[in-house]
Structure 1
Amino acid sequence: MDVIIKKKTWTPARLMLLGALVLVVVAVVALLLTSAGPAKLNIDPERVTISAVSRGPFQEFVPVDGVVMPIKTIYLDAPEGGTVQRILVEDGAALAPGQPIIQLVNTDLQLEMVNRETAVFDLMNNLQNTRNLLQQNRIQQLNQQAEIDNQLREAKRIFDLNKTLYEQKVIARQEYQQTKNNYDYQLRRRQLSRQAVQQDSLAMRNQINQMQLSVGRMQNNLALMRHKLDDLTIKAPTAGRITSLNAEIGELKTRGQRIGQLDMLTGLKVRATLDQYYISRIFPGQKGTITVNDKPYELSVKKIFTQVTQGVQVDLEFTGAVPPDLRRGQTVPVRLALSDQTVALRVPKGGFNQKTGGNWIFKVNADGSKAYKTDIRLGRQNPDYYEVLDGLKPGDRVITSSYEGYEKMGELELRAKKE
């Protein structure tokens, strides 16, 4: 009778295989433990930029492009409409105060001028005729007044004589009373005549004054009309250079239409547009510099425009000498200072900050063979440098180029590739 032999689970072969696996796992763990540390990477030193940390002058500034403009511009608009008859200057010419620029012609204004002159002359003739009539009337009244005075004197003489004769009882009371009544009548008549002369004189003066006022108003209107005719000749209000002259012979210009601009020759300014990010850090008097032919020139913020569209516009004026080679419309790079110049520890700007956020940097050892990840703290910046607040010292050398591809490494070995 056959006996079933049970198969053993742990055979010697399986035990030996298990032991070998355990030894492999232990070896791998030991290898990992013995090689634990920062990740390393070999790179060619020629592929990176190594810069020195230094202590020197540091100033926050923002580089912007500015446009050279005249320090003051006067816009020339047509004060009256008309057709361009003559152009008396060329675009870009330097003008003296009052120099004619464009001659316009407007027949409607000229016709209105003639009509107003005729109306003034008619009114002045009417005034003179009225004066003559009033003067003749006054002469007649004076003649009447003289006659009344003469009759009064005669009535008084007869009254005085009859009064004496009546007192002496030479004449009758009836005759005396007649002469007295005549004398009282002449007195009353003279009083009324004088009042009439005074009233007529006052009325005459008022009428003449009103007519003189009317003539004065019409003469003022005539002077304004002459001024409007003079405005058909557009002149330079002050000395300057005419630019953007926009006129052609025979062209119709309406009132208020722009015909050009007059740039003052007293100086130049620079207009720049800054990013809105700097709106809270811009103030009048802020300093800026431009470099022309390797020579710096200082500017100062004169005006900040309140309207913000695609940026903040500022006008800067020169605080000292003006570069002689600048021209209107020229674009110049401006360094607008955001802080005073100080002495600080600084590191040249580079692409490393995009990956590190200014928290660490690769610092090169003394012999230049390795670079180690070093914690740092950066502060202010300008287009050339970062301010170093902590982690580095003057003379240290660091990698400032981009850390793309090895930003997770803790150590770099700087070895040149063998050919």
Structure 2
Amino acid sequence: MHSKKNSPAPTTLPASGAAMDTIVPRRRGRRIALGIALALTMLMAAYALWSMLPRGLRVDGTDLRIGQVTRGVFIDDIVVRASAEPLHSVILDAVESGRVEEVLAVDGALVKQGELLFRISNPQRHLELLARQSEHAVSIFNLSNLRVAQEASASDHRRRLDDLRFNLEQAQKRHDRNVRLAAQGFISNVALEESHDALRQQQHLLAQQERATATEAQVRNAAAQQLESAIGGLDSGLKLVAGTVDALAVRAPVAGRLTNFRLQVGESVATGKNIGRIDDPARFKLAASVDEYYLNRMAVGRHGAVTQDGRDYPADIRAIYPQIKDGRFIVDLVFTREQPPVLNPGQSLDARITLGEPAPALLLPNGAFINDSGGAWVYVLDAAGGGAERRAVRVGRRNNAQLEVLAGLQAGDRVILSSYAAYGNSPRLQLAR
């Protein structure tokens, strides 16, 4: 009994570490499974989101213009907008300044050559004309007096010469007579020497008078020539001043249609002011505005044509103005045969200019993209048509409708032809339908 009482009562022992190790692995496996499931779910969600994200710049594809690359014949010409202008025009500028006193023509009227258009007044020009006329008259009077004096002097010299020649002739006769008498002994040698001295004196006087007459005539002739030259200058000046006075009455230099003529009576006109022009009313040329891309391919003499009412009218390039403005330059075309029957200044026409011969080529329709990429790259649609990839290309000649493709594309490729300005440098586009 005692032994039973003293024996310890059985107690419940705490769980050992071995018992815990058997339970933990089951809980870690569940957590790992849950982690793997969660990771797979996240990967699937990320893939779904990634597949739903746009691949490239998203653009609206409904308004895009799409073109296909094809093989065909490239027509090497361009169509440009041209305006009709008079073939010949004469600019009217005011030669003299003054106040408009009378206007005898109206803008748009047909005028004849020499027809009076308007008249201006300038009192200063009239005063200059009167002064020149007075100076001219004085010079003429002086020249007349010089001529009279010259003639009187010439008459006096002629009279002196006549007297001296007569005296010389008499002295020669006396000397000849004395020579014969001295030979016969009727007069002395002294008398003979005196007659010889008298003869030599008369010869000397005559020679001296002839030199004086020639010198005076030379001087008077030189003075007369100078005065005549001065009078000639005065004549030119008088004509010039008279011309300026005549220019106060402005006349049409050629026949034609008066254009941009807006003078009013009482208006002040300055020298050099443009007052209009006179246009050829029958013959016209075409001034065409051409893209600067074609400048190096333009040449004087290239052929073109204008179509009106179903009929072609040939025209050739006559002049090229290479100054670039807003990306364009101007060429003039003249009709080689006849021109359209109905043409008015400023009328717009479509002119076709031929740059070369037709040739087989790989062709792409022209579009606004060429201004953005310069023909160096394009966006090419994929097979499904849901996206477009940027691709480098090389293009050659171009016209209004087509581009010649040299590299980067092949027949059947579809290309976005609309403007690329909104796409920046995006390498790929996703088209939303």
Normalising by the residue count of structure 1, what TM-score does the alignment of the two structures yield?
0.74
2:324 matched to which residue of 1?
308
Q: Partners in 2 of 1:132 and 1:352 — Cα distance? A: 93
1:189-200 alignment, distance < 5 Å: 189-200=205-216
Contact 1:362 1:399 in 2 (8 A): no
Q: Equivalences for 1:312-351 in 2 at 5 Å?
A: 312-320=328-336, 321-334=338-351, 340-344=357-361, 346=363, 348=365
* Contact residue 389 and residue 429 of structure 2 kept, 8 A: no
Distance in structure 2 (CA, Å) of the matches to 1:318 and 1:178: 99
CA contact (8 A) 1:269 1:317 kept: yes
Q: Is the 8 A contact 1:271 1:313 kept in 2?
A: no
> What SS class does the counterpart of residue 301 from structure 1 fall into?
strand
Distance 1:128 1:150 in 2: 33
CA contact (8 A) 1:270 1:316 kept: yes
- Rounded to whole Å, the distance in 2 between the matches of 1:15 and 1:304 is 88
Alpha-carbon distance in 1 for matches of 2:152, 2:315: 79
Deviation at 1:223, TM superposition (A): 2.2
Deviations 1:287-307 (A, max 9, x none): 555554565555443322243
1:85 matched to 2:96: no
Q: Which residue of 2 aligns with 1:181?
A: 197
Q: Offset at 1:83?
A: 2.2
| CA positional deviation for 1:333 | 4.6
The Cα shift of 1:185 comes to 1.4
Superposed, which structure 2 residues align to 1:15-414 within 5 Å?
15=29, 56-59=72-75, 64-265=80-281, 267-288=283-304, 290-293=306-309, 297-320=313-336, 321-334=338-351, 340-344=357-361, 346=363, 348=365, 357-358=377-378, 360-362=380-382, 379=395, 382-385=399-402
**Do the aligned partners of residues 387 and 106 (structure 1) sit closer, same or farther apart at CA in structure 2, a change above 3 Å counting?**
same
Change (3 A) 1:357 1:21: farther
- SS of the residue 1:76 aligns to: strand
Q: Deviations over 1:382-406 (max 9, x none)?
A: 4434556787658x999978999xx
Identify which range, 14-23 or 324-333, moves more after superposition.
Answer: 14-23
Number of corresponding residues: 401
Aligned alpha-carbon RMSD (Å): 4.6
The one-letter code sitting in structure 1 at the alignment partner of 2:225 is N
Residues in 2 aligned to 1:101 and 1:223: alpha-carbon distance in whole angstroms = 22
Once the two structures are TM-superposed, the CA of residue 329 in structure 1 deviates from its matched residue by: 2.1
2:281 and 2:233 mapped to 1: Cα distance? 41
**Matched-pair contact (CA < 8 Å) for 1:127–1:211:** yes
Aligned 8 A contact 2:78 2:399 in 1? yes
Q: Which amino acid aligns with 1:78?
A: A
The two structures have a TM-score, normalised by structure 2, of 0.72
Q: Does structure 1 retain, via aligned residues, the 8 Å contact 2:380–2:416?
A: no
CA distance in structure 2 between the aligned counterparts of 1:252 and 1:352, rounded to whole angstroms? 55
Q: Which runs of 5+ in 1 are unaligned?
A: 365-369, 415-419
Give, as a single letter, the amino acid of the residue that structure 2 aligns with 1:3: P
Aligned residue number for residue 15 of structure 2: 4
CA distance in 1, matches of 2:63, 2:184: 155
Contact 1:66 1:273 (8 Å CA) reproduced: yes
Distance of 2:321 and 2:287 partners within structure 1: 10
Query: How has the CA–CA distance of structure 1 residues 16 and 105 changed in structure 2, closer, same or farther, with 3 Å as cutoff?
Result: same
Distance 1:163 1:47 in 2: 138
- C-alpha distance in 2, partners of 1:57/1:340? 10
Q: Is the 8 A contact 2:321 2:329 kept in 1?
A: yes
Amino acid at match of 1:130: L
Taking structure 1 as reference, are residues 291 and 161 closer, same or farther at Cα in structure 2, changes over 3 Å only? closer
Distance 1:302 1:156, change over 3 A: closer
CA contact (8 A) 2:362 2:404 kept: yes
